[in-house]
Chain A
Amino acid sequence: MEETLEKPEKPVSRKKPKMTFESKGRTVYYQLQDKIFKYFALAATSLGLIVLVLLLYSVFSSGFDRLDWDFITSLPSKRAAKAGIYTAWTGTLWIMFLTTIIAFPIGVSAGIYLEEYSSRSRMSNLIEINIANLAGVPSIIYGLLGLEVFARFLNLGASVLTGSLTLALLILPIIIVSTREAIKTVPYTLREASFALGASKWQTIWNQVLPASVPGIITGVILAISRAIGETAPLIVIGALTYVPFAPTSPMDEFTVMPIQIFNWVSRPQKAFAENAAAAIIVLLSITFVMNAIAVYLRHRSQKKVKW
């Protein structure tokens, strides 16, 4: 069989073929346009990367020598060489933990409600627009709200809890919006299939919609928390201190966080404090990177469970 399929070899023509399809006129212009845009995009991408690399280099070169175990476990001090970030990073972890616990269930539930339960009415449109707007409100406004409502009215003071509640409010819109976006990507046919088998709305959401949208939800939540741990302004407004001689042990304790500590050190004239600040930035960046790594891992794991 195979022999019959083989074609006799054609003589290869060595003559240069007539060029019918060479570029001319407008096509030359379009090709040039293509190239220009490609290099422009490349330049834009590299610009961002170069700035990041420069920043990392400058931070590492001035702060890396200062970074040791003592720096991480020491309390703050007036002498730069003795000062550490123990209270700052424990404060940051506390804030991170409490903010997540408060914002995650509320944000995800609100997202589910808006996407799955609420009917398309003028009211829901209004809520939708407002949530989108809230995501753009400057964080210091949230600080003022937290100061008035949590610190003063509820009498929680400048505590970890006040800080967490304030930051939870700040990141709620982000979590709600990303939850909705994640739920929107779940095809309607999946819900239909579930309903057609007699599943209730909640069974459909719990068994089909949420598992399929978990990767997107987790990504949104982690991005939101990463934003929260970088915030300084609202925490300063509610009264978080720059000097706390002890690490918080309960939600009602006073606290400071990494960005405030860094801000405090950067604003001092001595070079030694600038080195401290650089070292603290390295730690803060590490926390953020670890968070992102966890996000990638969780996303990967939940994607494996959903067998597309």
Chain B
Amino acid sequence: MKIEANNVRVSYGSEQVLKGITMSIKKNTVTAFIGPSGCGKSTFLRCFNRMNDLIETCKVEGQIMIDESDIYHPKVNINELRKSVGMVFQKPNPFPKSIFENVAYGLRINGVTNKKYIEEKVEWAIKQAALWEEVKDKLKKSAFALSGGQQQRLCIARALAVEPSILLMDEPASALDPISTTKIEELIYNLKASYTIIIVTHNMQQATRTSDKTAFFYMGDLIEYDDTRTLFTNPKKQKTQNYITGRFG
């Protein structure tokens, strides 16, 4: 197992938002987290790269193992962890720098100075994100000159450049138009061969199109976790049934 979560509980101050989640995720699969707003799916996603640590009042209990090591162990270097667990956010958030520098940033903060190596790695990452043909002639231009969909693929390239093994995606297509969304979904499908991907989504079609397994969260609990096809065609719990048929959420 690539990722194993064991009784993970998260609270903000006195409010508990995750009430003991246990699940395991296989290597090179796509897992979708679905559920109504405020169900805790994004919070759970942010446990895997410890982004929750940035919020002062947030407390995480339980255990998360990645490649069989406990990522909340006191000896874990959080920066090293985040290098191997990349993240793409809901709204494209490129740096106010050139397209090239956006992707090179992860390498530079790692102390890489070899210009040739950086250039190769940047090209590789942008190609991985299926963006190379669109930007190869304007790498020096501002990342903000790109369309929203291109910016999001640039953010994916930026995450890939530091060679993570896991990619977390927090509603990566919710701010994009349908064509850009399709491109991101194709990209997710292609990246599966090399990365373990977790995607939070509000779009159930997107979950069925992209994921192998789906987890349904409700009010801080993991209600159901199964193969995507099974979960959507033959859910075992009534709550899941209600949610996927659109009766609430």
Residues on A lying within 8 angstroms of B by beta carbon are 119-120, 187, 189-190, 192-200, 203, 207-208, 211-212, 306-308
Residues of B whose CB lies within 8 Å of any CB of A are 49, 51, 54, 56, 79-83, 86-87, 89, 91, 93-98, 105-106, 108-110, 141-144, 155, 158-159, 162
**Quick one: which of B80, B87, B98, B105 contacts A307, CB cutoff 8 A?**
B98
A6 to B209, CA, bound (A): 44
Please name the residue on chain A nearest to B87 by beta carbon.
Answer: A196
Contact present for A193 and B56 (CB under 8 Å): no
A-B residue pairs, 8 tightest by C-beta: A307-B142, A198-B83, A189-B93, A196-B87, A198-B82, A197-B106, A198-B79, A306-B96
Which of A119, A192, A198, A200 contacts B106 (CB under 8 A)?
A198
Tell which of B91, B97, B105, B144 touches A197, judged by Cβ atoms closer than 8 Å: B105
A-B pairs with beta carbons under 8 Å apart, 23 shown: A119-B56, A189-B93, A192-B89, A192-B93, A193-B93, A193-B158, A194-B105, A194-B109, A196-B49, A196-B86, A196-B159, A197-B82, A197-B105, A197-B109, A197-B162, A198-B79, A198-B82, A199-B79, A199-B109, A200-B79, A307-B96, A307-B144, A308-B142
Q: Are the C-beta atoms of A197 and B83 separated by less than 8 Å?
A: yes
Give the interface SS of chain A, mostly helix, strand, loop or mixed: helix
Contact across chains for B96 and A212 when beta carbons are under 8 A apart: yes
What chain A residues lie within 8 Å of B95 (beta carbons)? 190, 193-194, 208
B159 partner residues in chain A, CB cutoff 8 A: 196-197
Contacts of A195 in B (CB 8 A): 51, 54, 82
Picked from A192, A207, A212, the residue with its CB within 8 Å of the CB of B54 is A192
A198 to B96, Cβ gap below 8 A?
no
Q: Determine the chain B residues whose CB is within 8 A of the CB of A212 once the complex forms.
A: 96
Collect the chain A residues with CB atoms within 8 Å of residue B155's CB.
193
B221 to chain A, nearest CB (A): 27
Complex CA distance for A91 and B134, rounded to whole angstroms: 58
Q: Are B96 and A196 in contact (CB under 8 A)?
A: no
Query: Chain A residues with Cβ under 8 A from B110's Cβ?
Result: 198
A122 to B35 Cα, complex, angstroms:
38
Residue of B nearest to A120 (CB): B56
Q: Smallest distance from the beta carbon of B104 to chain A beta carbons, Å?
A: 11
Nearest to B110 among chain A residues (CB) is A198
Please state if A189 and B79 are interface contacts (CB–CB under 8 Å).
Answer: no
Bound-state Cα–Cα, A187 to B89, Å: 14
Contact A189 B89 (CB under 8 A): yes
A308 to B158, CA, bound (A): 17
Q: A196-B87, A198-B83, A207-B108 are in contact. List 5 more A-B contacts (CB 8 A).
A: A196-B89, A197-B158, A197-B159, A198-B82, A307-B141
Kindly identify which residue among A187, A190, A200, A308 contacts B144, using a CB–CB cutoff of 8 Å: A308
Shortest C-beta distance, B95 to chain A (Å), equals 6
Q: Within the assembled complex, what's the spacing in Å between the Cα atoms of A258 and B54?
A: 50
CA distance A196 to B105 in the complex (A): 12
By a CB distance below 8 angstroms, the chain A residues around B96 are: 190, 211-212, 306-308
A198 to B81 Cα, complex, angstroms? 7
